[in-house]
Structure 1
């Protein structure tokens, strides 16, 4: 298997759902498809108690597959579920506090970088990664042009890795890779039909193996 460490890698965002067993099966299936760097597990509409139960089931599945489990939502849930990291969906103050409190014990990254100025402000608090896009924002087949442009600008200039949200078409992963971004996040592209998730993950990895630019050592 080609080395995925020297090219853009896949990050999965698990879609919302109430049924833990269904979500666990969907996630397990996707992770069998091939290389996944990390999985973001958002809280969505779950209350903290429900989210805790989901996280305690889902985090070990991610870790068993060799990926990092990033919990987006309640930081106490992340701690109790022994997640690898926290994805901060809120603003810069929340991100700064989370970085200060949990780095380097946990991976801490975040988004809401809607323009260059905000992205640089986020970079100043030294997260482990910056996320371009918003969870649930993958509504078109292609990645949002603004996120691609921000990812390209960031990757060419800043050492902190970035994750750029792709679109609903798995092929959009390549346009993200071509920006130089270290990671592409996919949600609907992989999970729209859970039965197909392993095949989509395999296909995206094959596409990136074949066509994604390689990072210099």
Structure 2
């Protein structure tokens, strides 16, 4: 299986647009952006640059900002109100970062478009998920990621 590339832009990423321009040759599928410290104008400009390359722009843990700036999706940490969020965001992508099998199954049932795993059990959870489910998954542990993940992560500029 060919893994897709999922870039991650943290609040500490210097000059995200320039950093993305250097990474786009790797043909990323999506970019997860932590909006902390960025204005809506900066986020819109960054999203436009990413989307112009046919790369999905996903906002981390901020549903309102994702909707306001025209993001392609939002990724949230697992929480019980996923159905409500799914209803609120409409057709944009919804990713849910999970820490357990139960959270992942509940998120999938509630309408998540993809599941993410992080932490010390990410590889094990990713391999379990990939064996049983068709919903895409992302292993957010780049130092020991699973080949079973649909997407591999790479820090933007890293």
Q: TM-score higher than 0.5 here? A: yes
Q: Find the counterpart in structure 1 of residue 19 from structure 2.
A: 26
Give the TM-score normalised by the residue count of structure 1: 0.65
3-state DSSP of counterpart to 2:139: strand
Larger-gyration structure (1/2): 1
2:33 is aligned, of 41, 46, 49, to 41
Gaps of 5+ in 2: none
Aligned residues: 158
- 1:74 is displaced (CA, Å) by 2.9
2:136 is aligned, of 161, 164, 169, to 161
Looking at structure 1, the residues matched to 80 and 21 of structure 2 have their Cα atoms a distance apart, in angstroms, of: 33
Give the TM-score normalised by the residue count of structure 2: 0.87
Looking at structure 2, the residues matched to 51 and 163 of structure 1 have their Cα atoms a distance apart, in angstroms, of: 27
Are the structure 2 counterparts of residues 151 and 43 from structure 1 closer, same or farther at C-alpha, using a change threshold of 3 Å?
A: same
Q: Find the counterpart in structure 2 of residue 81 from structure 1.
A: 69
Looking at structure 1, the residues matched to 83 and 152 of structure 2 have their Cα atoms a distance apart, in angstroms, of: 23
1:107 pairs with 2:107:
no
Regions of 4+ moved over 4 Å: none
Q: Which has the higher helix share?
A: 1
Looking at structure 1, the residues matched to 141 and 50 of structure 2 have their Cα atoms a distance apart, in angstroms, of: 20
Q: Which has the higher strand share?
A: 2
Are the structure 2 counterparts of residues 120 and 25 from structure 1 closer, same or farther at C-alpha, using a change threshold of 3 Å?
A: same
